[in-house]
Amino acid sequence: MHNFLDDIENLAISQPDRCAIVLGLEEISFGTLWESIETVSNNAIRLGYRPGDSFIFASKPTPRTIAMALGLTRAGLKLAFIDPFTATASFPVRVALIGPKFVLAESRLLAIGSRKTGWLRKLLKIVIADYGSIPSADFFYTGPRLPFLPKGSKNAMADFYRPVAEFSKPRRIENSDSIIVFTSGTTADPKGVVHSLETISANFSQTAKIFDFKVGDRVLCEAMTVGLVAVSAGATWIIPDGKRNPSFNKYFAVPTDAIKLLKGMESESAIENQIEYFGMGGAPIPPSLVNRVIEVVGDQAKIVCIYGMTEILPVAYCDGREKLVPRAGDFLGKPLEGVELRLAADQELEVRGPGLMKNYLGRKSAVWHPTGDLAKIDEHGNILMLSRKKNMLIRGDMNVYPSLYEPGLTTIPGVADAVIVGVPDEYGDDRIALFILPKADEPNHEELRKRVRARLPEFVDQQALPDILIILETMPVTGRGQKRDMAKLVEMATERLAP
């Protein structure tokens, strides 16, 4: 079966000198990229790692670290991502599910996450997973050697980029597990999405068609899921460095990052980039944002809005201008070739296709994936999203499920109840409010506020931390069942977040 690593190898043979990946002043050609992939792959085998072994990758994306991740994947190892800012309670559960043989991480993450640097985390007001606490794992670091690295840590560049006299192609089992990405999940029930090279490659093929990626394109994006698509199609992937304004003709980002780019472009006296495709996905894209793109980028750009999820990306896409037509629902477009849809009895959209994940880690294979979105399909086959089935907020590229965090927050001394609500800004990104109802015997509300803020990172992922914390006198309720009055809480949050 086809996989995108074969595409990169073919490009390395046909045009070895063409630039594949750029980050600031650092770049790597297709020829050097493939040579690096082969070198890393063979060194992984030399070091005693075998197909099926798992490793955690937590290094900043650069041309060389991306080549390293691809080389390890080519060797048949399973690449697992765990957000270093994940809630501390869920981290050991996710690690136990993966069972990693080694951790490949940026040196500053390993050092700051150490038990010995609690003072530094307190100073920086951050919580970072302690990768060094993972039992029986080897540790490789990228970047400079720093104090407080886990005992026995090795320099990843020195070990995995050691010169190889003769390359050998590793034996890989077709459709074997290759990539594990965790979505939101409770401490006891995290969801690790498992893809094979084949399912990932099917997603890549679909995405390449959407953007018409080809040799000569310069694609600016941060997401590996799109950047590697561009590379496997022969384009140059430009990783944003936050400093330079590189020349590019195609772009993709989550809406919050797109807004930042548009602000930067507005402030420039002249826009040098002739943008052909301006793509967004990972969160709802409201008409106001589409209008902003047209205003700043110009009419020549095709605005691509992608609908998908970690389990299967992409599912559908549309021209952003279609979202400007008034409809009863969010217009998502038609499903891509090979993607099948069906609606459950409650109108929840379910999908399947060649790019659907293999399964959730430790669970049975997936056949249909319930999206959690309530939708309808019009007479032309277009998907219209009506609402979310579950109480889910959008923060940047992260889905935030309040019900996963609220129970843990009620274990904080003095907390009787906790409710998380979202208030969308003008571009659909949620600002988050946390309501705390004190226990009757907790008179000092200011002390409770400090206690909750100090304990928040234990229960809530860093990206999901609330923008505002509100102490309630009483919990607003409604109906015969005296359930929380969510409409009233949203109204209260909107008033407090308005300024």
Nearest to 69 by CA among 104, 100, 120: 104
The Cα–Cα gap between 283 and 289 comes to 12
Contacts of 463 (CB under 8 A, 6+ apart): 83, 85, 395, 396, 398, 400
Write out the residue limits of the CATH 3.40.50.12780 domain(s) in the chain.
Answer: 199-388
CB neighbour list of residue 15: distance below 8 Å, 6 or more residues apart: 30, 215, 234
Blockwise average pLDDT, block size 10, the chain, 499 residues = 90 97 96 97 95 95 96 96 83 92 96 92 86 93 96 96 87 87 64 94 96 96 95 97 85 90 73 82 86 91 95 95 87 95 94 95 88 91 85 79 80 88 84 91 88 88 89 82 78 85
Q: Which residues contact 321 (CB under 8 A, 6 or more apart)?
A: 290, 294, 303
DSSP reduced 3-state for 83:
coil
Are 219 and 248 within 8 A, CB to CB?
Answer: yes
* Three-state secondary structure call for residue 9: helix
Q: What are phi and psi of 138, to 5 degrees?
A: -85, 155
- Identify the pLDDT of residue 186: 45
Cα(272)–Cα(152) distance, integer angstroms: 49
Name the architecture of domain 402-497: 2-Layer Sandwich (3.30)
Question: What CATH superfamily is the domain 199-388?
Answer: ANL, N-terminal domain (3.40.50.12780)
Distance CA(226)–CA(493), nearest Å, equals 35
List where CATH 3.30.300.30 sits in the chain. 402-497
Query: Model-level pTM?
Result: 0.84
313/307 Cα distance (integer angstroms): 8
- What pLDDT, on the 0 to 100 scale, is given for residue 270? 44
Q: Which of 242, 216, 240, 241 has the alpha carbon at shortest distance from 230?
A: 216
Contact 110, 153 (CB under 8 A): yes
pLDDT, position 482: 65
Strand order in the sheet with 430-438: 415-424, 430-438, 468-471
Main-chain dihedrals φ then ψ at residue 59, nearest 5 degrees: -115, 145
CATH code at 4-172: 3.40.50.980
Decide: helix, strand or coil at residue 252.
strand
The span from the CA of 80 to the CA of 92, in Å, is 14
Which residue spans of the chain are classified as CATH 3.40.50.980? Answer: 4-172
Residue with structure tokens 């809005």?
305
- Residue pair 330/323 in contact by the 8 Å Cβ criterion: yes
Question: CA-to-CA distance for 351 and 108, rounded, in angstroms?
Answer: 40
